[in-house]
Amino acid sequence: MPRGPAPFGERARARVCDGIRSRREHPERGRTPRPPSEIGENIRVSDNLPRPTWVQVVAGLFGAAALVLAAWCVVFIVRGVLSTPELQGFLDRYPGDAPQPASTPEGFPAWLSWTHFLNAFFLVLIVRTGIRVRTEKRAGGLWTSTRVKKRRMSLALWGHIAVDCFWILNGVVFVVLLFATGHWARIVPTSWEVFPNALSALLQYVSLDWPTQNSWAYYNALQQLSYFAIVFLAAPLAAITGFRLSTFYPPKWERAFSWDLAKRIHFPTMLFFVAFVIVHVGLVLTTGVLRNLNHMYAGRDDVSWIGFAVFAGSIVLMVFGWRAAMRDDWIARPARIFGNVKVLPKR
């Protein structure tokens, strides 16, 4: 009988779904049996968790109330501390602004608005396809490379990697323009004074007496540090660890970077992105929403609804992208250009 390609059993599917190459390719990887959660055989949380009892619900509510109370206590303690002459002197000396060279350009150019929007859009797709790769019990479709036959993966993973490529390309364009236009000085710290200023801004945020904003001209030190961290630390870390986990990583570099280490870093990096976005968007919405959105989405420094309207349109596109990332038949279309695709029937 002619030997055809091995049929995809459940385990094989799950392994492909996670982007793990066969043991023949990676003999060292088979030694420790990996828990089901890592090979895509996750059981949905909702399938297993017992319904909470009334006592648990009441205890949860008390816990939440206690947290709110504790947060208020922190606010009042920090307010008390900030009213002392020493801390007043500290705030006068370090008001919280990010120090930046006098030549730094003001404002938000169109290229920044576009790359910022595309970054957020691709990130939504990356997170959605990433969640699918981690939790899917059974791949909804399979992609096999026409060039390298052994290169096979679930359609969710193919979509994840494809969007990663666009996200990285957009990131490269952003960084090149950042340095070409001098805009870099707004998000790259250029003086050690950024640290006491960031502490000052943090104390002001916690006291709910928020630092004065003039982000058209410069960010505050905490913004500068967090933007620097997300652009120059978290984004490269996500890209490098993702590349290491992918089937495109050259086998000859196998020992240079441990697969397990990459796996341990990649997912927490995504959580960091999600945490950043929650705080970032929370602050955008609560510190002069119309002006902030006008900066980034309309390139103007006034309080009209134009930026808000563009932002609302971008949210519609993101919701559409989130839903599209769950459709294997849609992912299959571009995937067919690069390989053979088999969309599996839904069970």
| Residue 98 φ/ψ, nearest 5 degrees | -80, 125
Tell me how far CA of residue 136 lies from CA of 37, 45, 215, 222, 231, in angstroms.
10, 12, 42, 38, 30
The contact mask relative to ligand HEM for 144-183 (x = CB under 6 A, - = no) is ---------------------------------------x
Q: Which is nearer to ligand HEM, 286 or 340 (CB)?
A: 286
Instruction: Report, in Å, the least distance between residue 16 CB and ligand HEM.
Output: 29
**Residue list 230-289, contact with ligand HEM (CB under 6 A):** 230-231, 273, 276-277, 280-281, 284
Q: Which is nearer to ligand HEM, 232 or 259 (CB)?
A: 232
- Cβ–Cβ < 8 Å for 34, 14: no
Burial zone of 15 (CB within 10 Å; 0-12 exposed, 13-18 middle, 19+ buried): buried
**Residue list 309-338, contact with ligand HEM (CB under 6 A):** 311
Number of residues that bind ligand HEM (CB under 6 A): 23
| Residue 258 φ/ψ, nearest 5 degrees | -65, 135
As given in the structure block, the two tokens for residue 256 are 């240079």
Of 296, 298, 325, 332, the one binding ligand HEM by CB under 6 A:
296
Q: Which is nearer to ligand HEM, 155 or 296 (CB)?
A: 296
Q: Which is nearer to ligand HEM, 284 or 343 (CB)?
A: 284
As given in the structure block, the two tokens for residue 97 are 């602004």
Q: Which is nearer to ligand HEM, 52 or 105 (CB)?
A: 105
Q: Which is nearer to ligand HEM, 108 or 158 (CB)?
A: 108
Residue whose entry in the numeric block shows the structure tokens 């193919």: 158
Helix (H), strand (E) at residue 341: strand 339-343
Beta partners for 317? Answer: none
- Cβ–Cβ < 8 Å for 243, 160: no
The contact mask relative to ligand HEM for 200-219 (x = CB under 6 A, - = no) is ---------------x----
Residue whose entry in the numeric block shows the structure tokens 């390989």: 339
The contact mask relative to ligand HEM for 176-195 (x = CB under 6 A, - = no) is -------x--xx--------
| Residue 339 φ/ψ, nearest 5 degrees | 180, -170
Of 8, 227, 259, 330, the one binding ligand HEM by CB under 6 A:
227
**Residue list 108-127, contact with ligand HEM (CB under 6 A):** 112, 116, 119-120, 123
Q: Does 300 bind ligand HEM (CB under 6 A)?
A: no
| Residue 298 φ/ψ, nearest 5 degrees | -135, -5
Q: Using alpha carbons, select from 325, 245, 311 the residue that is nearest to residue 281.
A: 311
Residues that bind ligand HEM (CB under 6 A): 112, 116, 119-120, 123, 183, 186-187, 215, 227, 230-231, 273, 276-277, 280-281, 284, 292-293, 295-296, 311
